[in-house]
Amino acid sequence: MARVVITGQGTINALGKTVPETLEAFREGRCGIGPLDIRDVERLAIQIGGQVHDYDPNAQFNRQQIALYDKYTQFTLIAAQEAIAQAGLSFSGDLAARSGVVLGTAGGGMNTQDENYRAVYEEGKNRVHPFVVPKLMNNAAASHVSMQHNLKGPTFTVATACASSNHAMGQAFQMVRSGLAPVMITGGSESMLCFGGVKAWEGLRVMSKDACRPFSANRNGMVQGEGAAIFVFEEYEHAKARGAEILAEVVGFAMSSDAGDIVMPSKQGASRAMEGAIRDAGIAKMDVGYINAHGTGTAANDKTECAAVADVFGAHADRLMISSTKSMHGHAIGGTGAIELLACIMALKDGVVAPTINYDEPDPECALDVVPNEAREAKVEVALSNAFAFGGLNAVLALRAV
Amino acid sequence: MAQDIQAKVVEIIAEQAVLEPSDVSLDQSLEDLGIDSLGVVESIFAIEEAFDISVPFNANDPSDSDFDISSVAAIVKAVQGLVAEQKG
């Protein structure tokens, strides 16, 4: 099996419009969550989110492009441009024919749906823009990355709610590892911060009105975010031959399904996914120095996830670090795993572990080292990235320092 | 009015528990009736719709919410209070 390395990364999210800006926010423990600036916000019970502010699509895209690109696609293309530029790759010939794109999103073009439903239902219009369908479809972002960068190999979108990005990156990893593709562009994107998107989440009554406080005893729910992160997964020999800078190696991936409840998480399902990723990576548990938690800040997730980590790692659970960067960028739903992978790569490459901010009070049910409030310098050999979705679908990636 | 509210709340809870209203007693908890966390959230939604009120309830920590769901009687009392407050 081929080795798989990451040679490019890009992002736009509430913490920054590039990777360096985002990593700086991680290091400083900065919070990107604040008042939402969206239409009809006064009719929402939840009025905060990890929104990308001061964002002007006209600065990035022309009128024809904006007519076709929902915000989730725009975020994807901005992040993909940064990632592919860093990797220094251009795609032509056989490389283009065999390389592809696998992306995760839960809602796809949610803003497009929201705007157009509003037009026909609320405003009583009987006509919508001709590009509504190609703009809102869940594979639009993957297709536009493919078109913009001439990627002609396997290209599709994965939708597994909050685990979409991790499932997508797992597919990309397996494709490169198996020799199916020399390079895969992967990651995820979400832009659900519109009236309908937030209103739907409100209904579940798991949202916080004031802050995301993962693992803290006074946590009171999740906070939605938005954004994208995109990576270049490349076969190791291919990257080495062209002298590319290697950011980290992807060494393992596993998925599991709880087959239990549509919203409540399961300790066994989470444990099986972490165990599977460690086994797939062929590493020892004690090599894992950092876990980027799913860490949503809900009562249910955080205690279940901590119990699963304690079960999987035994005594080593007390030595490893586990943090939730959702406290800073919010829960970017189908894009969240990709944004969180940036924190894993920062830990491995730069030796800085991103903190869990807003940590006020210890919770005996989350008694692990959650890297409270301040980033920490540490040498990390292996990092895991957890994603546990509604529907009981779990996906865990394992990365190693190079 | 108070009796009407009680009858309606019991009806909503009974429907969620797949029971007849006569099989629901006021001292039972939702757990006793076999209603899980998703069922609680759905019941509260039905109560909000039935009485046109807004119920303060966070599923992350039901015990910390202003809305007491410890028994059917507690829910009836809380809904009576909210109706008086929001519709009075």
Residues A231, A263, single domain; the answer is: no
Residues A261, A376, single domain; the answer is: yes
Burial class (CB in 10 A: 0-12, 13-18, 19+), A350: middle
In the block, tokens 């409540």 appear at: A264
What is the extent of the structural domain holding A105? 4-241
Catalytic site includes residue A53 = no
Nearest in space to A163 (alpha carbons), one of A329, A389, A398? A389
Residue A20 lies in a domain: yes
Domains in chain A: how many in total?
A: 2
Reading the block at residue B51, the tokens are 């009485």
Residues A232, A256, single domain; the answer is: no
Q: How far apart are CA A351 and CA A112, in angstroms?
A: 40
Q: With DSSP H G I counted as helix, E B as strand and the rest as coil, what are the percentages for chain B, rounded to 5?
A: 60, 0, 40
pLDDT of amino acid A388: 98
Average pLDDT taken over every residue of chain A: 98
Residues A316, A338, single domain; the answer is: yes
Residue A77 lies in a domain: yes
Give all domains of chain B, ordered by start, each with its CATH number: 2-87 (1.10.1200.10)
- DSSP code of residue A322: E
Residues A131, A11, single domain; the answer is: yes
Q: Which of A205, A264, A299 sits opposite B57 (nearest CB)?
A: A205
Q: How far apart are CA A337 and CA A165, in angstroms?
A: 5
Residue A247 lies in a domain: no
Look at residues A241, A274, A306 and tell me which one is the last residue of a structural domain: A241
Q: What's at A116, amino acid-wise?
A: N
Burial class (CB in 10 A: 0-12, 13-18, 19+), A315: exposed
pLDDT of amino acid A214: 98
Beta carbons of A40 and A47 less than 8 angstroms apart: no
Return phi, psi of residue A192, to 5°: -110, 10
Binary contact (B41, A264; C-beta < 8 A)? no
Q: How far apart are CA A233 and CA A246, in angstroms?
A: 10
Average pLDDT taken over every residue of chain B: 93
What count of other Cβ atoms lies within 10 Å of the Cβ of residue B1?
A: 8
- DSSP string covering A217-236: TT---B-BB-EEEEEEEEEH
Domain CATH for A256: 3.40.47.10
Residues A177, A221, single domain; the answer is: yes
Residues 158..217 of A with a Cβ closer than 8 Å to B: which? 203-206, 208
Residues of chain A with pLDDT under 70: none
Binary contact (A205, B61; C-beta < 8 A)? no
pLDDT of amino acid B62: 75
Residues A181, A84, single domain; the answer is: yes
A219 contact residues in B (CB cutoff 8 A):
60
- DSSP code of residue A207: B
Whether the CB of B57 is below 8 Å from some CB of chain A: the reply is yes
Residue A246 lies in a domain: no
Residue A390 lies in a domain: yes
pLDDT of amino acid B3: 86
pLDDT digits (tens, 9 = 90+) for B41-61: 999 999 999 999 999 998 887
pLDDT of amino acid B65: 77
> What is the nearest CA distance from A379 to chain B, expressed in angstroms?
35
* Residue A9, strand partner residues: A231
- The gap between the terminal CA atoms of chain B, to the nearest Å, is 12
Look at residues A241, A269, A300 and tell me which one is the last residue of a structural domain: A241
Choosing from A294, A306, A344, A366, which is the catalytic residue?
A294
- The gap between the terminal CA atoms of chain A, to the nearest Å, is 18
Residue A236 lies in a domain: yes
Return the H-helix or E-strand segment holding A396. Answer: strand A393-400
Residues A227, A82, single domain; the answer is: yes
The torsion region of residue A314 among left (phi > 0), alpha (psi -120 to 50) and beta comes to left
Residues A233, A256, single domain; the answer is: no
Residues A150, A36, single domain; the answer is: yes
> Residue B81: helix, strand or coil by DSSP?
helix
Return phi, psi of residue A356, to 5°: -100, 110
Q: How far apart are CA A49 and CA A209, in angstroms?
A: 9
pLDDT of amino acid B12: 97
Look at residues A241, A273, A288 and tell me which one is the last residue of a structural domain: A241
Q: Is the ipTM of this complex over 0.85?
A: no
Catalytic site includes residue A331 = yes
Integer-rounded Cα radius of gyration of chain B: 12
Residues A396, A272, single domain; the answer is: yes
Q: How confident is the model at residue B27 (pLDDT cuts 50, 70, 90)?
A: very high
Burial class (CB in 10 A: 0-12, 13-18, 19+), A246: middle
Residues A74, A213, single domain; the answer is: yes
pLDDT of amino acid B88: 73
Residue A391 lies in a domain: yes
Catalytic site includes residue A162 = yes
Binary contact (B37, A264; C-beta < 8 A)? yes
